Structure 1
Amino acid sequence: MSTGHQPGLFKRPAKPHKTFKGKRSKGQIDADNRGGLYFAFRLQTIISCGGSLTPAEFVESMASCDDTIVRTLGHNVVYLSVGRFKSRVGLLTPNPAKIDDVLDCIKVSDVVCFLWPTDGELSDENNLLLTIIKAHGLPSIVNVIPNIAQIPVGKKREETRKQAVLAISNASMNDANKVFFCDTELERKLLVRHFVEMKKSKMLLQKRRPHILVEKLDVADDNSGICTVLASGYLRGPSWNVNHLIHIQGWGDFQLGRIMAHTDPHPLKQNERVQANGDGEPKVLVAANESLREPLQSEIVPDPMDAEQTWPDEYDVSDDGKVKIEAGVRKVPKGTSSYQAAWIVDDDEDEESEDDEESIDEDEEEGNCEAGMEMEMVDESDHEGQNAEETDDAMSTAIDDDEADDFDEVEKYRREREDAQFPDEIDTPINDLARIRFQKYRGLKSFRTSPWDAKENLPSDYARIFQFQNYKKTRKTVLSAIGDHDPDTCALPGQYVTLEIIRVPVTFAQQWDQSSPLVLYQLLPHEQRMSVLNMVIRRHPTCRVPIMNKQKLIFYIGFRKFEACPVFSQHTNGNKFKMERFLPTDACCVASVYAPITFPPASVLVFREGKSGVEKLVATGSLLDVNPDRVVLKRIVLSGHPFKINKRSVVCRYMFFNRGTHGHMKCRFDQQLNAADSVMMSLYKRVFPKWTYNPRVGRSAAVTNAVQETEAMDE
């Protein structure tokens, strides 16, 4: 039976459905504002992947392809007002050797244009750059093959085009078969038209966070090292709330005072300039409200007197109802009575910290190697002349430092190989008591099903961080509020404005590199607060240097860049996760750090700093969640050898070295053992990240491939 329109007596057609036009969605508002008066430039980043045409020459050819194009210069940007298509385009040409400049330009761009070589050959540096860009995320892309007109028309030109298309396809770029050329004036006009009319697919970072590419930077109210920074540029993304915080990469989070509108310095028509105010003076759009402004507090200041008192459980209470006091082991002077020993205060320095415990095994392994190095250095120092010149001493000191660094690298390789062959196995100390050495470890009947309280024995740093009661609900609430516009507190995107950033260090303006782009981001609620971030990362094939657990690394998470020492753990299902001593080479792992809250999804890039300050790619990945309750367990395995084998019991040796029976102990198993078997016992201890978060990280000089530096080590 048909459910369509049934004509009536007069055979009139069906009336169209009318929609209520009083309420428009956020997408309809963005579509209506697109291309209007207050609409920011469409930014394109030009990246060269090799070849003879440089990005600067490409921009010059695009600006001169049409007489109606008006070219104006901004800060590191070339603006083109295309009257033929009634649109404006901004072209960015970052230095490919500076990864910070490339990533900052891509974050604010609507389109990324790649210039591919005609021969299709990409260098190792270009391949590494493309890997970083793809892991970071891309908006819409355009593939251009320049200088193909220099090849004679015919079969050779077609083969050259196919080679370039194959290189684009191997680089896993979208629309590999759809390429453009820019040799003739007509081809350049078509390319400009494609820039203007193509469908733009923005990144989530651009959709969710208001941002601004700074065109001009001024300093006001300089007072004892603190000043007010006036940053001017076009607002992009959603509406900018003046009460929210602003993030400056490499410096941290700050508050806004006002947002002022200015005359558009690069209008579409030069004779129709839009004035911000009647007399050309800047107009105050919105001002911050002290009662509604987001606080700068990033961590909690714990009160030592506000500690919770836990009630003793049934194991702590004896049969007669009295609380039992566990006797602790304490070193006291010889001849001290028990009454005198009770008054001796334990020294914090005598207690073993977690880091010291984790390094005991490493120190024991390195003991023989370091002792040999010290003997060699002593022998060399005995043979040195007493009247050596200062220059020779300086050179020998530098050589010794280099040799020490080489020995450290070799030791890392040895320990990584040993950990792969004998994972988590350690030797029981002969001189120390095992019950004292492993007092913070415990055994688990089953790693998967045995319980472990996530709130048990937390470090003092956990009193400084924030945790959501319902993380998923908070994330949904924060993300759903993006795009809400309040005319009293928000400024619409597309306007040329000045942000008044208050209480900024004067050194920021003094150290700002004028040749590098500066992008400012607005933070979402709670994103200034510290917590534990968990990231899923995978080691890049070019990184062939061992990356140890809790090694200082540089992280790019979304719009943030900081230094931290992560804790590596396995990326598996369950509520407990085993710690990794080294970054795995063939599997994903989770890196946990103390860092400001960031709502996923967000891309993650991990670098390490080389000897010359050059950043080298280590791993790529994405943000997993913000969860301080993730239980990361460090496992150690004590091994022994069966000495006497019975039907169900075994006398084991070489696991402990106590007196009397010389470390022999009797173990029971569910089946009979063989003489070739080994007896293993696993112990576990929860580990936490180090508080090493440092947001003030300088911009990288360059990013290089790390393969060459490891060739000598592999030999």
Structure 2
Amino acid sequence: MTPIPDHHHRSTTKASNKPFKTRHASKSALKERSKGKVEQFERSARKTLHQQVMSKIDRRNHARQLRQNKLGERREGGSVFAGKDGAPRVVAVVALCGDVKSEEVISQMNGSVDVEESGQHSVEVPRFKTRMQYLSPDRTDLFAVLDACRVAGYVLFVLSAQEEVDELGERMLRCVESQGISTVLTGAYGLDRVEPGKKRPDVLKSLKSYINHFFAAQEKVHDLSSRQDCSNVMRSLCTTTPKGIRWREDRSWMYIEDVRWEGEQPVVTGTIRGRNLKADRLVEMGEWGTFQIEKITAVPSEGRSSKRVKVDAERTENLLEQPSDDQDDLAELAPEEATMDDVVTMPAASFAASERKHVLLDDHQYFDEDEEEELSAPKRVPRGTSKYQTAWYLGDNSDSGSDMEDIDQEPEGDMDMDGLASAGPADGHFDDMTMGEPTEGAPTTYAQSEMFPDAAPEDEAEQIAAYRKQRRDEAEQDLEFPDEIELSPNVDARERLARYRGLKSFRNSAWDTEADRFYQPEEWNRLLEISDYKSAKNRVLKETLVGGVRAGTRVNVYLRVALGQGKEQLQAMPLPVSLFSLIRHEHKRTSINASMSLSSDYGAPLKSKEELIMQCGPRRLVINPLFSQAGNTPNNVHKFDRYLHPGRTAVASFIGPVTWGSVPCLYFKRRTPSPASPVDDAIEGLAHDLANPSAFSATTPLDLIATGTTLPPSPPTSPRIIAKRIILTGHPFKIHKKLVTVRYMFFSDQDVEYFKALQLWTKRGRQGFVKEALGTHGYFKATFDGKVGPLDAVGVSLYKRVWPRGARVWRRGDV
């Protein structure tokens, strides 16, 4: 029999065709390569040769425009320094170590470019056709260093090759870095004294590593003992355009070269920088305060002008600008007539808060009707019962049903579904609380109709003292209730807490501002109100671009002395270093909010309302800030913080002048003198201070404790409300399932009736309400949504609005 051959399949089912021969990829291949990016495909597909040529021309034109714009910005930035009559380049030489001599450093830098020593810090550099103005502030005066760096276009930090940077030098670095700084250079002093010479590169590497911790862009530390390195530093200072500081470049400012008096009128000489200087705007001059401008005149040129032109200029006194009718006045508050014309109807509740029968909850007063209607109690129905079936159940007040639940006949409104991590039962948030069943057994149970024994006050005094001592010990260990207060049995809680109110939800409940009118500061209605901060800021910043005397002009500014400013008083103060022109409205007072980050190096918590010195832009103010929690809330209500702990950030609020834009803030605190010590310790401390004069600052005994930035003010339609919270706690005396008798929260039945509408809460997240008062000593019954343990604490939260305090100008004599 012939064998049947095996059946074979072909090796593959796909035919291998020849590839498509083309020099370029097909359209489908380009689509796959672009991965869906339509613009890339359209840009690469050119239909005609004309379009391809035009696109190349467009690209070249665009690159040329960018190049021209960059060159134009560079010329505009350096135009104030161009020519012999150009403005001098202001250089601040800051010595970070005690053995650094700034005068010697300046002399070596001038000698490297063959500049003759004239004994003045203003020199001309013929090699680079520019002028230099050196500032060498006293390193023991922190504010003098900050003023010099604030007005300087270049800052040269000088490190010592033999000594480390002390505490004062590091404090200066942190302050200068926080307030904003322009172009930075770093030099090493005394490197030629390091022996052996092979250690010098290692010293430079160590100094570079240290300065990079503060300014990471520093690529080199120059050897100021070398003539070549000093020449390189001078080349960088004379040819580089300073990068500037954002908040400073938005304003007109100038370094004050000279101050002279013409009668009772001060005249300030300097070169305008930044924006154009307008005579209608006010000017700020450090400790001297705020002034109006009388007129602005040009200083006669010292360059190529002939004698005849100089004589004519002096004779005619070239007037550049005078104030117009639109000149700003020195009034910080709105006139009282403006507030009196608008008749404000004060609510009756604000005038007689103690006459209210019940506490204010959100924006409503419950149980205030003449004939009080009983609230409809929730019905007890089986679990899963629908709303329609609930209407067919008769009222049953029994608490014994295990499968029964409370159902309100009317919804309470929208619940807070934002899920705040920091919110808890004390602020009316119960959704995120993990409800754990109490492990303790319930104490004595009782029937609701049981007669309540009303003990005498003398018998309860010892019990109250023992209970509060136990609560204090627990609070010190666990810090359960940081806002808890204790009421005295002899104090009427209605009068003691008349200004306080309740909130169902701290985050979402509306705050009735009309009830606070009676307690607001007298000047509150006269403060500046900014309805739309963003548009107002853009409008006033655009005004600075139009008109005024052009930047780069050397001028004489005649100031108008106000009534409270005398010549003798101003001459007794130190001469100001800079003049800053204020933007429109920047002298008017409003409620200022600024972020504040307390340094982790500060050892103790900072108490609210404590006196601080704040530097914000060109101003220094003495403030007593209120601390509140940062963030945004729907009702713009923020919790008042009694303390700001190290390493944390809060919002500091006070009443002060307006500052447009985000301006860095520095917070200083006066050093508290140590208590009297024995004679031996005093002698040792004096010897230590004499041996280390840089370890302390005799002229500025201040410490930098925090930094921050100004924040936009709240609109008048939704003002920022700082609410101070207090917590009253009570002890669950008797417990019968969800019905609890609470004591030690109030001490009279009138107080219980007054605060009856407030929501109760426990540490474990239970919530409830007051049912009825028991006796006359403040005991009351309360119902909760779950079982309450005997070791749990019942609390109630009350809130009061607190108002920021006013700030004043800091002067050196205040320290």
State TM-score, norm by structure 1.
0.74
CA distance in 2, matches of 1:4, 1:86: 55
Alignment partner, residue 434 of structure 1: 493
CA distance in 2, matches of 1:426, 1:91: 58
Deviation by residue 1:604-632 (Cα, 9 ceiling, x = unmatched): 11122345772232321111122361110
The one-letter amino acid paired with 1:328 is E
1:72 to partner: Cα distance: 5.0
Tell whether 2:343 aligns with 1:308: yes
1:461 to 523, 537, 550: 523
1:157 to partner: Cα distance: 2.2
Q: Where do residues 37-186 of structure 1 align in structure 2 (5 Å cutoff)? A: 37=83, 39-50=86-97, 52-67=99-114, 69-71=115-117, 78-119=121-162, 121-152=164-195, 155-170=198-213, 172-186=214-228
Q: Where do residues 430-509 of structure 1 align in structure 2 (5 Å cutoff)? A: 430-454=489-513, 457-458=516-517, 459=520, 460-484=522-546, 486=547, 490-504=548-562, 507=566
CA distance in 1, matches of 2:572, 2:552: 26
CA distance in 2, matches of 1:127, 1:417: 37
Check 1:635–1:430 CA distance in 2 against 1; reply closer, same or farther (3 A cut): same
Q: What SS does the corresponding residue of 1:106 show, helix, strand or coil?
A: helix
Check 1:326–1:591 CA distance in 2 against 1; reply closer, same or farther (3 A cut): closer
Structure 2: which 5+ runs fail to align?
1-43, 358-472, 674-699, 750-774
Alignment partner, residue 295 of structure 2: 258
Alignment partner, residue 625 of structure 1: 712
CA distance in 1, matches of 2:90, 2:625: 35
Check 1:506–1:663 CA distance in 2 against 1; reply closer, same or farther (3 A cut): closer
Alignment partner, residue 344 of structure 1: none
Does the 8 Å CA contact 1:71/1:79 hold for their aligned counterparts? no
CA distance in 2, matches of 1:32, 1:105: 21
Does the 8 Å CA contact 1:120/1:164 hold for their aligned counterparts? no
Tell whether 2:269 aligns with 1:232: yes
State TM-score, norm by structure 2.
0.66
Alignment partner, residue 685 of structure 1: 800
1:559 to partner: Cα distance: 0.7
**Aligned residues: CA RMSD:** 3.7
Does the 8 Å CA contact 1:120/1:163 hold for their aligned counterparts? no
The one-letter amino acid paired with 1:293 is Q
The one-letter amino acid paired with 2:355 is G
Q: Where do residues 554-703 of structure 1 align in structure 2 (5 Å cutoff)? A: 554-574=613-633, 575-610=636-671, 614-627=701-714, 629-658=719-748, 660-691=775-806, 693-698=807-812
Deviation by residue 1:185-206 (Cα, 9 ceiling, x = unmatched): 2221111001122342100233
Does the 8 Å CA contact 2:734/2:742 hold for their aligned counterparts? yes
Tell whether 2:325 aligns with 1:291: yes
Deviation by residue 1:348-396 (Cα, 9 ceiling, x = unmatched): xxxxxxxxxxxxxxxxxxxxxxxxxxxxxxxxxxxxxxxxxxxxxxxxx
Q: Where do residues 401-416 of structure 1 align in structure 2 (5 Å cutoff)? A: none
Check 1:447–1:515 CA distance in 2 against 1; reply closer, same or farther (3 A cut): closer
Check 1:273–1:557 CA distance in 2 against 1; reply closer, same or farther (3 A cut): farther
CA distance in 2, matches of 1:418, 1:607: 32
Check 1:39–1:645 CA distance in 2 against 1; reply closer, same or farther (3 A cut): farther
Q: What SS does the corresponding residue of 1:63 show, helix, strand or coil?
A: helix
CA distance in 2, matches of 1:143, 1:40: 24
1:531 to 590, 612, 627: 590
Q: What SS does the corresponding residue of 1:64 show, helix, strand or coil?
A: helix
The one-letter amino acid paired with 1:294 is D
Deviation by residue 1:80-124 (Cα, 9 ceiling, x = unmatched): 311111222211101122122111111111111111122572212
Deviation by residue 1:170-226 (Cα, 9 ceiling, x = unmatched): 3x223344221121222211110011223421002331111122222122343xxxx
CA distance in 1, matches of 2:589, 2:76: 33
The one-letter amino acid paired with 2:802 is V
Alignment partner, residue 213 of structure 1: 255
Q: What SS does the corresponding residue of 2:176 show, helix, strand or coil?
A: helix
Check 1:478–1:60 CA distance in 2 against 1; reply closer, same or farther (3 A cut): same
Q: What SS does the corresponding residue of 2:175 show, helix, strand or coil?
A: helix
Check 1:36–1:275 CA distance in 2 against 1; reply closer, same or farther (3 A cut): farther
Worse overlay, 93-102 or 658-667: 658-667
1:513 to partner: Cα distance: 6.6
Alignment partner, residue 328 of structure 1: 355
Does the 8 Å CA contact 2:287/2:573 hold for their aligned counterparts? no
The one-letter amino acid paired with 1:62 is M
The one-letter amino acid paired with 1:295 is D
Does the 8 Å CA contact 1:147/1:183 hold for their aligned counterparts? yes
Q: What SS does the corresponding residue of 1:116 show, helix, strand or coil?
A: strand
Alignment partner, residue 396 of structure 1: none
Worse overlay, 39-48 or 150-159: 150-159
Check 1:694–1:514 CA distance in 2 against 1; reply closer, same or farther (3 A cut): closer
Check 1:283–1:20 CA distance in 2 against 1; reply closer, same or farther (3 A cut): farther
Does the 8 Å CA contact 1:169/1:176 hold for their aligned counterparts? yes
Check 1:418–1:684 CA distance in 2 against 1; reply closer, same or farther (3 A cut): farther
Over alpha carbons, which structure has the higher Rg? Answer: 2
The one-letter amino acid paired with 2:728 is L
CA distance in 1, matches of 2:197, 2:323: 68
The one-letter amino acid paired with 2:221 is V
Q: Where do residues 507-518 of structure 1 align in structure 2 (5 Å cutoff)? A: 507=566, 510-512=569-571, 517-518=576-577
Alignment partner, residue 393 of structure 1: none
CA distance in 2, matches of 1:419, 1:569: 23
Does the 8 Å CA contact 1:563/1:697 hold for their aligned counterparts? no
1:46 to partner: Cα distance: 0.8
Does the 8 Å CA contact 1:245/1:522 hold for their aligned counterparts? yes
Does the 8 Å CA contact 1:111/1:141 hold for their aligned counterparts? yes
Check 1:168–1:34 CA distance in 2 against 1; reply closer, same or farther (3 A cut): same
The one-letter amino acid paired with 1:671 is G
1:648 to partner: Cα distance: 1.4
CA distance in 1, matches of 2:478, 2:614: 26
Deviation by residue 1:661-682 (Cα, 9 ceiling, x = unmatched): 4221112221111111111111
Q: What SS does the corresponding residue of 1:96 show, helix, strand or coil?
A: coil
Check 1:544–1:298 CA distance in 2 against 1; reply closer, same or farther (3 A cut): same
The one-letter amino acid paired with 1:473 is S
Does the 8 Å CA contact 2:628/2:638 hold for their aligned counterparts? yes
Does the 8 Å CA contact 1:556/1:606 hold for their aligned counterparts? yes
The one-letter amino acid paired with 1:464 is R
Does the 8 Å CA contact 1:261/1:276 hold for their aligned counterparts? no
Check 1:52–1:305 CA distance in 2 against 1; reply closer, same or farther (3 A cut): closer
1:546 to partner: Cα distance: 4.8
Alignment coverage as a number of residue pairs? 588
Does the 8 Å CA contact 1:70/1:82 hold for their aligned counterparts? no
Q: What SS does the corresponding residue of 1:188 show, helix, strand or coil?
A: helix
Q: What SS does the corresponding residue of 1:476 show, helix, strand or coil?
A: helix
1:250 to partner: Cα distance: 2.5
